[in-house]
Amino acid sequence: MSVRMTVTTSATPMYIDAARRFAESAERLDNCDQFDALDSPGKELRASQLVDAALAAVLTANSAVEAMVNDLFVERILFPAANSGPWFKGLSKDVTAAFADSWNGGTEWRNLVTKCHIAADIAGKPRMNFGSGYAQRMTLLIDLRNTLIHHKPISVEHGLEPLKSNDALERSLHQQFERSRICDNSYTFRWYGCLGAGCARWAHETTAGFIREFFKHFGVSYYMPI
């Protein structure tokens, strides 16, 4: 007699923890007193390290939400015999089966907001309002992530007020978080002004807040604390 064992892993905890750690690292790096004590090469290196940390926070924060929503759709596929899956509590077997059918029917390739709307329709819930709260912040975080991933060079006039900037990203994000402290206004918003401790912290907080908002909206509990 042989026993066959399988291991199923969700990436959500890894990504959300990574986003938090990168945000903490960005907070340590974005220190004006320490920055001012450095020589020119040291300042250049520290500014680059800060951008690295903030960039990583943005990307892993987005990945956490993508992974969580994908988990919702595929849970029944991974655990077909269970009355209720081990990850999400509060959804009927019929609903989780419908999630699986939707996933196999092409939902896998939809964007995050569309997946959330499809999930709400299947579960018989109102669609989430992406025009307010953490859901609105999530759309801004997605825009930032997409701009980073699919970057296209642009020319930006330096020295304009944020609301008058010809960088649409600056106009939409400048009130969401503080600029980098060490990369002051002598740097453009894209990317040194944007990718500081404020952005990294905002990315992690947005993701954690959205996931909590998502579960409350759907009336389900998740196996891990957020």
| pLDDT tens-digit map of 113-150 | 999 999 999 999 999 999 999 999 999 999 999 999 99
**pTM beyond 0.85:** yes
Residue 207 predicted with pLDDT over 70: yes
- CA gap 32, 85 in Å, rounded: 48
Q: For residue 179, what is the DSSP state?
A: P
List, as one string, the DSSP characters of 110-163: S-HHHHHHHHHHHHT-PPP-TTSHHHHHHHHHHHHHHHHHT-------TT--GG
Looking at per-residue confidence, does 171 or 76 come out higher? 171
Give CA angle at 108 (74, 122), nearest 5°.
65
* Distance between CA atoms of residues 30 and 46, nearest Å: 8
Using a 10 angstrom Cβ sphere, with 0-12 exposed, 13-18 middle and 19 or more buried, the burial of residue 107 is buried
Neighbours of 225 (CB within 10 A): 8
Whole-angstrom Cα distance, residue 56 to residue 18?
8
222: which strand partners? 88
- pLDDT tens, residue by residue, 17-65: 999 999 999 999 999 999 999 999 999 999 999 999 999 999 999 999 9
User: Hey, what are 213's tokens?
Assistant: 């908002």
Give the single-character DSSP code of 191. Answer: I
Q: How far apart are CA 26 and CA 20, in angstroms?
A: 10
- For residue 90, what pLDDT is reported? 84
Beta pairing partners, 88: 222
The whole-number pLDDT of residue 184 equals 80
